[in-house]
Structure 1
Amino acid sequence: MSASDLEQQPPAVEGTAPRGYELVLPPGWVRIPLREGTKEALEKVLFSHMGQVPEGIPRDDAMRFRLDMRRQIEKQARAARRNGGLDLYLPVHPRGGIFLMASFIVAEMPIGQDRAAPPEAVLAQLANEDGPDGSATEVEVAGVPALRRSYRSAPDPAKLRSAPEAVQQTALPARRVEYVIPVVDGHGRWISINFSTPGDGDLDSEFTGVLVELFDAVVGTFKWSYE
């Protein structure tokens, strides 16, 4: 189980707003906190969780692989923190000899809506803003109305041509799923849970679909923490 604290603001009624959230992670996944403790979590991932390396990497190159992985995670964590991220989650154990290319971020959302507006009205507006390449569905998370949006993303060819070669090699089309959830009695606050994966390179494959289903199952374990 993983848990994270929310940045506290005065609730509408003292003692009714959750202090954080909890969820159950699949085996091999870890949480990287983005507000504090990031460095310590990265050290733990580097030296404890990454004792294995993918098949095909020589033993002598294991440390280099771990350091490269850490740099990639640090870059991802910095980008997530700039966008209001609270926590970054990703798999760090290889499955079947390979590392899964997937991650999700829990973040605070600057929706900027009237705090008096009911959550249902906000969710309806967000659903109507969904683009033509995606779909939005009203769902329930932790006993409250929420929104699930799914879509696909692809790198901009024009921007990609001018990007460094390393970026071009790692830029892949991705399946993305976002949950938008109101903080219970949270004074008009919202969070999002954003998932992204290129799967096995085929966004319509069974393997990619299984990763999306895995993420949906993780969100199904989400609950608020009041301690």
Structure 2
Amino acid sequence: MIDFNVVVPEGWANIPTTPEFARVRKRIIDDIVRHHLPDSLPRDKAGPWRRILRKELTEATDEAARNGARAVLLPLREFNGVRLPGSMVMSVLEGGDDNVTTETVLGSILADAGENGTSLEIAGAPAARVAAVVDSAALRRTSPSLRVSYYVAHPEVSGVWGLLTFTVLSDGDVEADAVQAVVLVFDAIVGTLRWGNRDDIPTEDEVLAHMSPVGAEPPTTETRA
């Protein structure tokens, strides 16, 4: 199966959303909850917050799975003193019409995006970047969010695309320096994309056997979509 890898900074959680890694997903969510609300906190005060956080993470990854995503990337640590308020959903789209060229698809995407779209190259293939300000009501927030989607063509296989979409929360101004700094981090991660395949991925039991607790990752981590 065709896949891609990206390199992410220290302190990020890579949450798989495919059915074959359901136990890994639950383990990571449990680790995230424990990381933010450790067992040392009073149970009567921390218990409700733990349930809320676990519910939100489970619902978010369930939705990503329903939409065909393979993984969600979630920053957990601060970057230069700033908490990164966002997440990235990664998918591989296959089965496109061989009679429709890459240029045609990207041209249509960029035409719809207007001034919010950018043509570029990623991993040796053409790609499009589309930014949009979106309502945050679904996230139970009143301030808008900035959503950026990358459509990356496979350089050798027609009809195969990488779709990476990240959403960055704001306090009301999506053009604020803090928001744009977070966007730059996500953009940099997308720039590390490299195509490969999933033929040699470990089993779920192997992943579980070698997992480290959230917050104890090595300096850089390569992850698959």
**How does the TM-score come out when normalised to structure 1?**
0.73
Q: How far is the alpha carbon of 1:108 from its aligned partner?
A: 3.4
Cα separation, 1, equivalents of 2:151 and 2:191? 13
Q: How many angstroms apart in 2 are the aligned matches of 1:137 and 1:34?
A: 29
CA contact (8 A) 2:129 2:149 kept: yes
- Are the equivalent residues in 1 in contact too, given 2:134–2:147 (CA < 8 A)? yes
Gaps of at least 5 residues in structure 1 are 1-7, 9-18, 161-166
Q: Give the equivalent residue in structure 2 for 1:210.
A: 181
- Tell me how far apart the structure 2 counterparts of residues 171 and 71 of structure 1 sit (CA, whole Å): 20
Candidates 118, 133, 145, aligned match of 2:126: 145
**Partner residue, 2:41:** 59
Q: Does 1:116 align with 2:87?
A: no
Which whole-Å CA distance do the structure 2 matches of 1:26 and 1:138 have between them? 25
C-alpha distance 140-63 of structure 1, shift in aligned 2 (>3 A): farther
Find the aligned partners of 1:53 and 1:99 in 2 and give their Cα distance. Answer: 16
Name the structure where helix makes up a greater proportion of residues. Answer: 2
Higher RCO (CA < 8 A, seq sep 6+):
2
Structure 1 counterpart of 2:131, which letter? Answer: S
CA displacement at 1:31 relative to structure 2: 1.0
Within the alignment, does 1:31 sit opposite 2:14 as a pair? yes
Q: Once the two structures are superposed, what CA deviation does each residue of 1:135-182 show, in whole Å capped at 9, x if it has no partner?
A: 111111111100001111125xxxx6xxxxxx6843541011100012
Count of equivalent residues = 194
Report the identity percentage.
26
- Structure 1 runs, 4 residues or longer, greater than 4 Å off: 94-99
CA contact (8 A) 2:146 2:174 kept: yes
Among 56, 62, 68, which residue is 2:52 paired with?
68
The one-letter code sitting in structure 2 at the alignment partner of 1:148 is: R
What SS does structure 1 have at the residue aligned with 2:119?
strand
* Structure 1, 178-187 or 22-31: larger mean CA deviation: 178-187
Q: Work out the CA distance in 1 between the residues paired with 2:163 and 2:123.
A: 13
**3-state SS of the aligned residue for 1:170?**
coil
Gaps of 5+ in 2: 201-225
- Deviation, structure 1 residue 98: 7.7
Q: For residues 169 and 187 of structure 1, what CA distance do their matches in structure 2 show?
A: 39
Aligned residues: CA RMSD: 2.9
User: 1:8-51 CA distances to partner (integer Å, 9 max, x unpaired)?
Assistant: 3xxxxxxxxxx321111122211111113134233234236742
Map of 2:153 onto structure 1: 182
Deviates more, 1:142-151 or 1:183-192: 183-192
- Comparing 39-48 with 172-181, greater Cα deviation is found at 39-48
SS at structure 2 position matched to 1:59: coil
